[in-house]
Amino acid sequence: MKERGKEEFLIKIRPMRPCDIAPITLIETRIFSDPWPMTAFEEELQRENGGFFVAESDGTVTGYIGYIIAAGEAQIINVGVAPEFQGKSIAKRLISHIFKIAEKEDCEYIFLDVRPSNTAAISLYRQFGFVELYRRPGYYRLPNEDAIVMVKNLREE
C-alpha cells in the first residue's frame, strides 16, 4: 500500500524484514524511555499470530507497528515514528493498516496500552474510536507509570 503524506512524500507500508530491525531499534531508542531491545524485534519475525509492519519513504524506515491476533481480538503491541517524520500521519496510516488486518481476521476488538503522559498518542487513538477500559498500575518503567488499556469495538459504529 502506498499513500501520499501531508508533504507529498510517498509512504509504503510493508511487512518488517530482518534488515529493518536495526533502523527500528534506533527509532525505538530515540522515542521511548524504556525501549524494546533488538532481540525483541528479532523474535517478532517468528511470530505466527501477528507481526510488524514498517512505513518506508525513499528506502528509509520512518515508522513501525506491531500487532497480535488471538481469540478474535487484535492487540497493537508497539508503534513508533521517527521524530523527524512525526506529524505526517504515518502513525495514522500504520494504525489504519492494522484495522484492515483485524477486520479481515474478523476481530471484534482491538486493544492497546499507552502511557498516560503520551497525550499525543492518546489523542490519536481516540480519533480512531479507542476508549479507556482500565489502568494497569506501575506497568511501565523508566519512569514508573501506569498503563492505560484502551479498546476499540470494531462492530460498533
Which cell goes with 102? 483485524
Q: Residue 54 pLDDT > 60, yes or no?
A: yes
Question: Which pLDDT does position 8 carry in this prediction?
Answer: 59
- pLDDT one-digit tens code per residue, 68-104: 999 999 999 999 999 999 999 999 999 999 999 999 9
Return the H-helix or E-strand segment holding 11. Answer: strand 10-15
**The domain over range 2-111 is classified in CATH as 3.90.226.10:** no
* Domain spans in the chain, listed from the N-terminal domain onward: 2-111
Mean pLDDT of the chain: 93
Question: Which pLDDT does position 5 carry in this prediction?
Answer: 45
- pLDDT one-digit tens code per residue, 116-135: 999 999 999 999 999 999 99
Which cell goes with 75? 492487540
- pLDDT one-digit tens code per residue, 36-53: 999 999 999 999 999 999
Once rounded to an integer, what is the mean pLDDT over residues 22-34? Answer: 95
- Report which DSSP code applies to 37: P
Task: Examine residue 143 and say whether the peptide bond preceding it is cis (omega within 30 degrees of 0).
Answer: yes
